Amino acid sequence: MTTRYKANHLRIGRYSEPGRIYLLTAVVQNREPVFQDFYLGRLLVNSLRTAQEEYSARALAWVVMPDHFHWLVELQKASLEELMGKTKSRTTLAVNQRMDRVGPLWQKGFHDRALRREEDLPAMARYIVANPLRAGLVMRVGDYPLWDAIWL
């Protein structure tokens, strides 16, 4: 299975439903740890917040890892493709400008998982924000600067 096939395969059967909660993940090309740089990580955080300000999605939890991000959102006015396309595009433009670089930042596609409201969403949020701890980046979740959750 080629990388191109995998990226396109993610789109098969994808359905965007306003009001539905999704866990979204996007990965930087070649898993380059771009967001190890705190300032660049904040550029991604600003893109996530802009999506909320535009009523595209309501952020429930997120974490920016060095080479990817996880985002628990309630979809609002945008489709999944629009939400992720705009978020990735905004971040690419900001990072490219800051780093004086050109070209794509993200791998094609993204991963999404629709969640049921009866699932334990606070537990999912804890799992998301504990990513840096499991990756060995920090000793305590609170020591990592690039995360947020409405329950924590």
What pLDDT, on a 0 to 100 scale, did the predictor assign at position 14?
Answer: 73
- The 3-class secondary structure across the chain, one letter per residue, is CCHHHHHHHCCCCCCCCCCCEEEEEEEEHHHCCHHHCHHHHHHHHHHHHHHHHCCCEEEEEEEECCCEEEEEEEECCCCHHHHHHHHHHHHHHHHHHHHCCCCCCECCCCEEEEECCCCCHHHHHHHHHCHHHHCCCCCCHHHCCCEEECCC
Query: Model's pTM, two decimal places?
Result: 0.90
Q: What pLDDT band is residue 1 in, cutting at 50, 70 and 90? A: very low
Question: Of all residues in the chain, what percent carry a pLDDT higher than 90?
Answer: 84
Residue boundaries of the structural domains of the chain: 3-138
What pLDDT is attached to residue 8? 44
What does the mean pLDDT of the chain come to?
91
Q: Could you tell me the fold of the domain covering 3-138? A: Alpha-Beta Plaits (3.30.70)
pLDDT tens string 103-134: 999 999 999 999 988 889 999 999 999 999 99
Q: What is the pLDDT of residue 12?
A: 64
pLDDT tens, 22-65?
999 999 999 999 999 999 999 999 999 999 999 889 999 999 99
pLDDT at 119: 83
